[in-house]
Amino acid sequence: MDARKVVSCHRWLRVPSAMLAASLPDAFPKMENLKMHQMSPEMQGCIDECLRCHSTCLSMAMNHCLEAGGRHVEPEHFRLMIACAEICQTAANFMLIGTSHHKHLCRECAEICEECARSCEQIGDMQECVDACRRCAESCRKMAA
- 26-84 pLDDT, tens digit per residue, is 444 443 433 445 789 999 999 999 999 999 999 999 999 999 999 999 999 999 999 99
Q: What is the pLDDT of residue 39?
A: 87
DSSP H or E run through 8: strand 6-10
Residues contacting 85, CB < 8 A, separation 6+: 53, 54, 55, 57, 58, 61
Eight-state DSSP code of residue 43: H
SS3 state at 17: helix
Q: Is the pLDDT of residue 131 over 50?
A: yes
Query: What integer is the mean pLDDT of 86-106?
Result: 95
pLDDT above 90 as % of the chain: 72
Q: Enter the pTM of the model.
A: 0.74
Alpha helices in the chain, H assignment, sequence order: 17-27, 41-59, 66-68, 75-97, 102-123, 127-144
Confidence at 117, pLDDT banded by 50, 70, 90: very high
The partner residues of 13 in beta bridges, in order of sequence, read 10
Residue 37, pLDDT score: 55
Mean pLDDT computed over 85-113: 96
What is the rounded average pLDDT for all residues in the chain? 83
The CA–CA distances, whole Å, from 108 to 13, 39, 101, 104 equal 46, 21, 12, 6
Q: What is the DSSP letter of 11?
A: T
CA dihedral 121, 125, 131, 136 (to 10 degrees): -70
